[in-house]
Amino acid sequence: MQYADLLIEQHGKVAVIRLNRPKAMNALNDNMMNELGDALHKFDADPAVNVIVLTGSEKVFAAGADIAAMANYTYAVDTYPGNYIGRNWEHILNIRKPVIGVVSGYCLGGGCELAMMCDFLIAADSAKFGQPEIKVGVTPGAGGTQRLPRAIGKAKAMDLLLTTRMIDAAEAERTGLVSRVYPAESVMEEALKVAQGIADMPVSVAMQIKDCVNQAYQMPLTEAVRYERRYFHAGFGTPAQKEGMSAFLEKRQPNFEGL
Ligand code: DAK
């Protein structure tokens, strides 16, 4: 897979998508978001891939939407009728396999919004998160005012959104925005170990867990638990359950290959 604004690697069952517009701090533009949607959907459909990692460079995950590209956009043509953001930024939300975001350096504005659409985030100790859109005269447009308060609480989210303050990796971990922090030199290696561990689990169950957790954001608790229970019951009709429980009872490692 060859793209102008992405680099692609594959490590066993883990596909790595790297945002790659180094001259523009990986600012997100239409072409990159179209390519990202294409790559994500291809890996989601590829039986040789169980987990997707989305990352940037050592210096920057993404410094936001491309300000140069959107500076002259108008409401009448580009944003509302053109469905800016909605038309191609949210493919990631339809991906059924786990997507891990790995963040080094700046992760700002639309970049932070994209990162928050991943299933979970692993950060380098160099990571800096922020929503500085107010400084360029707009509200966040890809979920920043919605996902950030859910991730880190209203007080911290308001602080970041209104003041443009950036938080470092330690504060991001403390507040629950990221799940783990590693030294910048080893973050990719460690993230790949995490991804490989998930890739060795039954992919169908990983997809179901992801679906349940994501549903919990949209549903009342009792409905969400009922939703989970359906998957749990159905699990007893799958080879993954038979293999997992047999392996435990036989005191061996499970082999979920192809499950
Ligand atoms: N867009 C375009 N180019 C960018 C960019 C961006 N977001 N961020 C950096 N660049 C470019 C710089 O212009 C510079 O280009 P040259 O001058 O070399 O040609 C190059 O990348 C290197 O940047 P710097 O020279 O600034 O590098 P520094 O290390 O000094 O600073 C920085 C790094 C990340 C702190 C700084 O570049 C920065 O503050 N960048 C802007 C961060 C920002 O404001 N992000 C939020 C963008 S606004 C909506 C839809 C979408 C959005 C909102 C609403 N609706 C539909 C309603 C989303 C908005 C945003 O994301």
* 60 Cα–ligand 1 center, Å: 11
Q: Which of 20, 67, 79, 112 to mutate to test the pocket of ligand 1 (most atoms within 8 A of CB)?
A: 67
pLDDT, residue 50, reads 98
Q: pLDDT tens across 71-93, in order? A: 999 999 999 999 999 999 999 99
Q: pLDDT tens across 127-165, in order? A: 999 999 999 999 999 999 999 999 999 999 999 999 999
Band of the pLDDT at 226, cuts 50, 70, 90? very high
pLDDT, residue 199, reads 98
The DSSP line for 59-91 is: SEEE-SB-HHHHTT--IIIIITTTTTTTTTS-G
Proportion of the chain above pLDDT 90, given as a percent: 97
110 lines ligand 1 (CB under 6 A): yes
Band of the pLDDT at 216, cuts 50, 70, 90? confident
pLDDT, residue 152, reads 98
136 lines ligand 1 (CB under 6 A): yes
Q: How many residues does the chain have?
A: 259
7 lines ligand 1 (CB under 6 A): no
69 lines ligand 1 (CB under 6 A): no
Q: pLDDT tens across 13-45, in order? A: 999 999 999 999 999 999 999 999 999 999 999
Measured over the CA atoms of residue 207, residue 210, residue 215 and residue 220, the dihedral's sign is: positive
The catalytic residues are 65, 110, 113, 133
Mean pLDDT throughout 184-192? 98
